[in-house]
Amino acid sequence: MSDMALKPSEGSNLLPSPTSFPLGVLPAKIEESLSVAASAYTVPFAVPAVTFLAVIGAAVGRTRGLEVKPSWITHPNLYWGLVARSGMGKSPCSNAILKPIHERENAAFNEHKRELEGYELDLRTWQGSFAVAQRKNDTPPDKPIYPTWEQIYVEDSTTQAVGSILSNNPRGILWYRDELSGMLADLGRYDNKGGDGGDKARLLSAYDCGPWKVSRSTKDAMHIPHACVSIFGTVQPDLLPSLFKHKDTVSGFLPRFLFIRCEQEAPPLWTSESFDGEPAEHIHGLVYQALDLSFGPEDSPCIIKLSDAAKRDVKDWYDNQVLVHWYQPQLEQFEALAPKLRGAFFKLCLIIHMLDCWSMGKSELCPVHHESVQRTIILMEWLQEQQRQVWTLLSAGNKFQEASAIERRVAKAIVELSTKLNLSLLPTSKIVEFLNRDLPESFHITPDAVGKTYKKLGIETGRNSKERGAKLNPEIIGTLSKYFSTEKPVIGVIGVTKPSKSEELQNDKSMTSKVTPIFNPSSGVTVENDHKISNIQQE
């Protein structure tokens, strides 16, 4: 990754434009369906793609685990944040992907209300029977059990309330907050000590599906062996620097979040396209399939292993990541981030593997194929770039800003013109002419407006015998090319060994050991009743 991806250029306070979500990482039909969502809501592809990854991870929860090695089992829950300006349309698009979560939650709530009505009737009957038994000195009847509401997501909540929900939900829960700034600001608000340390400590543990235990009073006592929390929401870039403190970096709270910068790549014009029909059904069907997964015996997760070829890929990638940070001092500022990204890699690898299997109509319980690992590596390269940009933004407070639409347009115009004209001084009039081509006169940009962008873009101005313009050199052209989005292609993964034909054949056989139709729930697949899959273990 170049330094240009990590920091603004000299003389500019603008962050480079984020690169696009890497195409080819997800199965083709999933990407096609998510592209429809992006077009329908006129948002960058990263918005529906990241929302989908977050929802799948949360829906699977602790029902499935990836055995990184015998002493290390990880689950697909992650903490995600979409960083984008208000008004982009990210919330409507995200809610469209979240529709199955809302529908399942609504059905569970209605069922809970019916059970509650029955409970209240049973309670009144029990109270009468209990009084009669006391008068007659008989054995009293058993008191009705209060029905539990197994929630799968929360919005406006506290860690105490989330803990109560998790005590009845071993799968885990999605904490969805449209504005993450509100959730982060609320941490510790209802703590008698007035601090957020307790809330954040619980979320540190929940990221790894660790235990929650509260022993403050008999009434509030709580013990959850495996508290599994997924977080997803949005945040505006201007608010982001004020949400975290230095201790959040040291404690590991901040490094657990995957922040994705999104910028509007084109004017969000009206479109008649809609996210419904087959594309929506395909995405929603996969979310339902994840929600319908069942545990193994005694609420233990079904464990998925890495194939031999995948293990080699993992080792090569992991070692390379460690060595890069060990030997490159310029990455020292990301030292706290690197280990958490390596951990997130395995969570994402499990998600990609399951989506691959379901898209091929195969069981997710087969070993992880090397191709799933390779595409996860490509996804992680993109995520690393995203995190380093966001951490640069965080470390500088509000000193740096995202480029505006006009600044990105001017940068793109200069880059394109420089390849055609090969001038050391590009006249402003040429830039204006380029920008105004094919546009109605009412939308024309003026030379003064272009000139004002020079300083923000870090461009020096000069003058020839006729007019003023932008001074150009290869370095400034390279800088300007970072201020507008370019589609990130799928590239080969460096340092990954291709498996032998015999290993590929062995992997293919293991993947077909049990076939699960793509929209049919896998709830019947457990450790006990699937004797055909030998790679399942209890956690």
Q: Which pTM does this prediction carry?
A: 0.83
Percentage of the chain with pLDDT > 90? 53
Compute the Cα dihedral for 192, 198, 199, 200 and give only its sign.
Answer: positive
Banded model confidence at residue 349, pLDDT cuts 50, 70, 90: very high
Banded model confidence at residue 196, pLDDT cuts 50, 70, 90: low
Stretch 482-502: mean pLDDT: 51
Q: Tokens 């990407």 map to which residue?
A: 31
Average pLDDT, the chain: 84
The total number of structural domains that make up the chain: 2
Tokens (6 digits) for 32:
């096609």
The pLDDT assigned to 164 comes to 85
Is there a single domain that holds both residue 332 and residue 436?
Answer: no
Distance from C-alpha of 337 to C-alpha of 324, rounded to nearest angstrom: 13
Ranking 186-190, 381-385, 473-477, 521-525 by mean pLDDT, the lowest is: 521-525
Q: Is pLDDT larger for residue 151 or for residue 13?
A: 151
Banded model confidence at residue 533, pLDDT cuts 50, 70, 90: very low
Residue 73 and residue 311 in contact, taking contact as beta carbons nearer than 8 Å: no
Instruction: Note the maximum CA span of the chain.
Output: 112
CA angle (165, 169, 171) in 5-degree steps = 130
User: What beta strand segments (E) does 239-319 contain?
Assistant: 257-261, 302-305
Ranking 72-76, 188-192, 221-225 by mean pLDDT, the lowest is: 188-192
Is there a single domain that holds both residue 339 and residue 453?
Answer: no
pLDDT in tens, 113-165: 999 999 999 999 999 998 998 888 888 899 999 988 889 999 988 888 888 88
Is there a single domain that holds both residue 332 and residue 384?
Answer: yes
Is there a single domain that holds both residue 460 and residue 370?
Answer: no
Banded model confidence at residue 218, pLDDT cuts 50, 70, 90: low
The pLDDT assigned to 59 comes to 98
Whether 517 maps to a domain, the answer reads no
Residue type, 28: A
Whether 522 maps to a domain, the answer reads no
Distance from C-alpha of 183 to C-alpha of 179, rounded to nearest angstrom: 7
Distance from C-alpha of 402 to C-alpha of 33, rounded to nearest angstrom: 29
Residue 365 and residue 514 in contact, taking contact as beta carbons nearer than 8 Å: yes
For the chain, the straight-line distance linking the first and the last C-alpha, in angstroms and rounded, comes to: 37
Banded model confidence at residue 331, pLDDT cuts 50, 70, 90: confident
Whether 118 maps to a domain, the answer reads no
Question: 73: which strand partners?
Answer: 67
Residue 334 and residue 326 in contact, taking contact as beta carbons nearer than 8 Å: no
Whether 124 maps to a domain, the answer reads no
Distance from C-alpha of 173 to C-alpha of 181, rounded to nearest angstrom: 19
Q: Is pLDDT larger for residue 513 or for residue 79?
A: 79
Is there a single domain that holds both residue 344 and residue 434?
Answer: no
Banded model confidence at residue 534, pLDDT cuts 50, 70, 90: very low
CA-nearest of 121, 92, 60, 118 to 353 is: 60
Is there a single domain that holds both residue 394 and residue 408?
Answer: no
Stretch 197-218: mean pLDDT: 83
Q: Examine the pLDDT at 220 and tell me if it is beyond 70.
A: no
Kindly state the DSSP code that residue 153 receives in the 8-state scheme: E
Q: Is pLDDT larger for residue 56 or for residue 519?
A: 56
309: domain CATH number is 3.40.50
Number of residues written out for the chain: 539
Residue 470 phi, psi (nearest 5): -95, 130
Run of H or E including 174: strand 173-179
Is there a single domain that holds both residue 249 and residue 284?
Answer: yes
Residue 332: CB atoms within 10 Å: 8
Tokens (6 digits) for 184:
């982060």
Kindly state the DSSP code that residue 196 receives in the 8-state scheme: S
Q: Examine the pLDDT at 195 and tell me if it is beyond 60.
A: no
Distance from C-alpha of 525 to C-alpha of 365, rounded to nearest angstrom: 9
Compute the Cα dihedral for 173, 177, 180, 184 and give only its sign.
Answer: negative
Whether 341 maps to a domain, the answer reads yes
Banded model confidence at residue 398, pLDDT cuts 50, 70, 90: low
Whether 77 maps to a domain, the answer reads yes
Whether 474 maps to a domain, the answer reads yes
pLDDT in tens, 231-244: 999 998 888 888 88
Residue 225: CB atoms within 10 Å: 12
Is there a single domain that holds both residue 267 and residue 387?
Answer: yes
Residue 156 phi, psi (nearest 5): -85, 105
Is there a single domain that holds both residue 323 and residue 435?
Answer: no
Compute the Cα dihedral for 28, 31, 35, 36 and give only its sign.
Answer: positive
Banded model confidence at residue 480, pLDDT cuts 50, 70, 90: confident
Is there a single domain that holds both residue 362 and residue 475?
Answer: no
459: domain CATH number is 1.10.10.10
Distance from C-alpha of 69 to C-alpha of 305, rounded to nearest angstrom: 8
Tokens (6 digits) for 266:
């084109």
Side by side, the strands of the sheet bearing 302-305 are: 72-74, 64-69, 302-305
The pLDDT assigned to 515 comes to 35
Is there a single domain that holds both residue 427 and residue 291?
Answer: no
Is there a single domain that holds both residue 462 and residue 507?
Answer: no
Run of H or E including 14: strand 14-15
CA 52 to chain centre: 8
Whether 491 maps to a domain, the answer reads no
Question: 174: which strand partners?
Answer: 153, 230
- Write b or e for each residue in 506-525: b if 16 or more Cβ atoms lie within 10 A of its Cβ, otherwise e: bbeebbebbebeeeeebeeb
Side by side, the strands of the sheet bearing 79-83 are: 153-154, 173-179, 229-235, 79-83, 257-261
Distance from C-alpha of 441 to C-alpha of 429, rounded to nearest angstrom: 16
Residue type, 277: G
Range of the domain at 451: 403-483
Spatial neighbors of 274 by CB under 8 A, at least 6 apart, are: 40
Distance from C-alpha of 195 to C-alpha of 530, rounded to nearest angstrom: 48
Tokens (6 digits) for 45:
């592809």
Ranking 197-201, 378-382, 383-387, 512-516 by mean pLDDT, the lowest is: 512-516
Kindly state the DSSP code that residue 436 receives in the 8-state scheme: H
Q: Examine the pLDDT at 503 and tell me if it is beyond 70.
A: no
Run of H or E including 315: helix 308-327
